[in-house]
Amino acid sequence: MSANFVYLAYLVAAVLFILTLKGLSSPMTSRRGNMFGMIGMAIAVLTTLSLTHNVGLIVLAIMVGGTVGSVVARRVEMTQMPEMVAAMHSLVGLAAVLVAMAAFNNPVAYGIALPGEMLHSSNRIELFIGTFVGAITFTGSIIAFLKLSARLSGKPLRFAGQHWLNLGLGISMLGFGIAFFLSPSWTPFLIMTAIALLLGVLLIMPIGGADMPVVISMLNSYSGWAAAGIGFTLNNNMLIIAGSLVGSSGAILSYIMCRAMNRAFLNVILGGFGGGEAAAASDDGVQKTYRSGSADDAAFLMGNADSVIIVPGYGLAVARAQHAIKEMSNALTSKGVKVRYAIHPVAGRMPGHMNVLLAEAEVPYEQVVEMDEINNEFADTDVVLVIGANDVVNPAAKNDKSSPIYGMPILEVHKARTVLVVKRSMATGYAGLDNDLFYMDKTMMVFGDAKKVVEDVIKALA
């Protein structure tokens, strides 16, 4: 294949990737965006295959990986989607590290050095950056996966001097990177890689559950930059473009989500809020009272309301209640009730988690409203149904300056005339904080599995 045709094919693929991001910016065009992405990736892969002599081995690897990916994708539950995304990020980081090692081991085969010559200085910098970003992405994503899948506690793991330790490790990693740049050899390269792997663990372990959506977005950005680093090592323009698109879009998303949480990006990286300390602070020994009711009570209140806003959270995903909630919405709409869904930017365990759930249940897009648009309407709403959400509706973020989440923008459901909260128990949310909303006079708690409660509400409405 001629060089001009390769460049043209990569250009077409790059344009399709840009159109993918454009399409994914709206639920109405997301299917088209995904289609552009698949076509662009197919063009990029086929073009790359045309440049290699080991097509058989690569096709075999694609078949094995594709088979495993298809099986996992079909079996994974919607509630497990965040940890699957984290696992995928870890593989991108690992690929970056392995490619860098292979390129350093045989630079002639990768076309980054001539026989008998030393690696060019620019290639040493590329190998260093690609390796440490990939290593941090790899181990950091594994820790995120373990936290999200509850194999590790979602509470922050903190210890005295952790920031100084991280700073020291970062400086040491940079020092060995400089040593590798000055005199390329395996010893500084491997030590630098080992430090980066350790840093990935230490950077994510102190981050609490409430910050996990930002962590997923951040690791997505890291994986993109790691892929771009591989592209420089392999001198593959397509990989550089694709990695840069993923890296920059992930960074922008992380910034947007940090703004939605009133958090500084560096503050998230250096240790999230929530967890043991916050939980302990919320338990002041005072016995609080709350009002509870049944699904029949909830059905009566919503069925006689003029407007209902539903606030979905992670509990909705755990109970797989998205289809039931859609059926309940249809029942309310048939009675003349105006129904909408309020979405917080960091609800769930990853960016867009609730949007995906509602889209799966074919909830009309016009009923799904973002936080900034709907917050002004809660005061004029008859009933708000909070189902499986906790931290994103906690009024302490507005009222309690001593709260770890003070200043974080929330869905202001406490302003509605009546609030219904569906939970299994009075346990705290993922951030480990008690919620004053549950003890307000206007709030009624409905305890039970979200799907079962909603199904009972549907029966009562009928």
Q: 349 and 311 in contact (C-beta within 8 Å)?
A: no
359: buried, middle or exposed (CB in 10 Å: 19+, 13-18, 0-12)? middle
Q: Which residue has the higher pLDDT, 433 or 30?
A: 30
Tell me which of 211, 391, 434, 456 is the catalytic residue: 391
pLDDT, tens digit (0-9, with 9 covering 90-100), for 108-145: 888 888 888 888 888 899 899 999 999 999 999 999 99
Q: Of the ranges 61-65, 217-221, 268-272, which one carries the lowest mean pLDDT score?
A: 268-272
Strand partners, 105: none
> Domains in the chain and their CATH numbers?
76-269 (no CATH), 282-461 (3.40.50.1220)
Rounded Cα distance between 364 and 368, Å, is 7
pLDDT, tens digit (0-9, with 9 covering 90-100), for 43-70: 999 998 888 878 888 889 989 999 998 9
Per-residue pLDDT averaged across 380-401, rounded?
A: 92
Check pLDDT > 60 for residue 185: yes
Check pLDDT > 90 for residue 413: yes
> CA angle at residue 371 from 253 to 155, to 5 degrees?
65
- Rg over CA atoms, the chain: 25
**Residue 191 in tokens:** 């030590």
Phi first, then psi, for residue 337 (nearest 5°) are: -85, 135
Check pLDDT > 80 for residue 411: yes
Compute how many other C-beta atoms are within 10 angstroms of the C-beta atom of residue 348. 30
Check pLDDT > 60 for residue 403: yes
Residue 110: predicted pLDDT = 81
Q: Which residue has the higher pLDDT, 287 or 250?
A: 250
**Residue 203 in tokens:** 């950077």
Phi first, then psi, for residue 161 (nearest 5°) are: 80, 15
Question: What is the edge-to-edge ordering of all strands in the sheet holding 368-370?
Answer: 368-370, 338-343, 307-312, 383-387, 418-423, 443-447
Return the H-helix or E-strand segment holding 43.
helix 30-49
Check pLDDT > 60 for residue 271: no
Check pLDDT > 80 for residue 156: no
Rounded Cα distance between 159 and 129, Å, is 29
DSSP 292: B
Q: 138 and 93 in contact (C-beta within 8 Å)?
A: yes
Does residue 297 carry a catalytic annotation?
A: no
DSSP per residue, 155-168 = S----TTHHHHHHH
Local confidence band at 276 (pLDDT 50, 70, 90 cut-offs)? very low
**What is the SS3 assignment for 356-397?**
HHHHHCCCCHHHEEEHHHHHHHHHHCCEEEEECCCHHHCCHH
**Residue 82 in tokens:** 């965040």
Per-residue pLDDT averaged across 356-369, rounded?
A: 90
* pTM, full prediction: 0.81
Residue 37: predicted pLDDT = 95
Q: 148 and 430 in contact (C-beta within 8 Å)?
A: no
Rounded Cα distance between 247 and 267, Å, is 20
Per-residue pLDDT averaged across 270-289, rounded?
A: 51
Check pLDDT > 60 for residue 283: no
35: buried, middle or exposed (CB in 10 Å: 19+, 13-18, 0-12)? middle
Return the H-helix or E-strand segment holding 340.
strand 338-343
Quickly list H helices, 183-310.
186-204, 212-234, 237-260, 265-269, 276-282, 295-303
